[in-house]
Amino acid sequence: MVSLSFAFCLNAVAPAVVVPLMIGLLKDGYGLKKQIPIKIIASATLENLTILIIFGITSVFVINTFASKEQSVGTTIGMSILQIVVGFLGGIILAIPGFLFKVKELHKLNNNVVKFIFCFIVILGM
């Protein structure tokens, strides 16, 4: 089971590699008609999401083999989905200050206000 858990880690697609390459293809004019680079980015995102969920489930199985307190499969799947939903909502909440204070208007604000907004976003992210 440990090897299966690590296999899911190795199967994940690195967004740091895929996204810049696909954006480069879009800028060069490749795949504009059928939107292939955008579809590749979307499918890589969904694949990574699926792999993270499966990794979480298999890691719980591995931990349960060594721990005395066991957790059910339904609880594990439910917690994985709950973590994704909470993370999505947290991302939306953290994006709200970015919409309120556009980057173009930050130079008009006082330097202390900008520092406060940055610290607020960092603290919420933790």
Q: What is the pLDDT of residues 62-116, one digit of tens each?
A: 777 776 666 677 777 787 788 878 888 887 887 777 677 665 565 666 666 667 7
Task: Indicate the length of the chain as a whole number.
Answer: 126
Per domain, the residue ranges of the chain are: 1-71, 87-126
The reported pLDDT for the residue numbered 103 is: 58
- pLDDT at 61 exceeding the cut of 80: no
Stated pTM of the model: 0.54
Report, in angstroms and rounded to the nearest whole number, the Rg of the chain calculated over CA atoms: 20
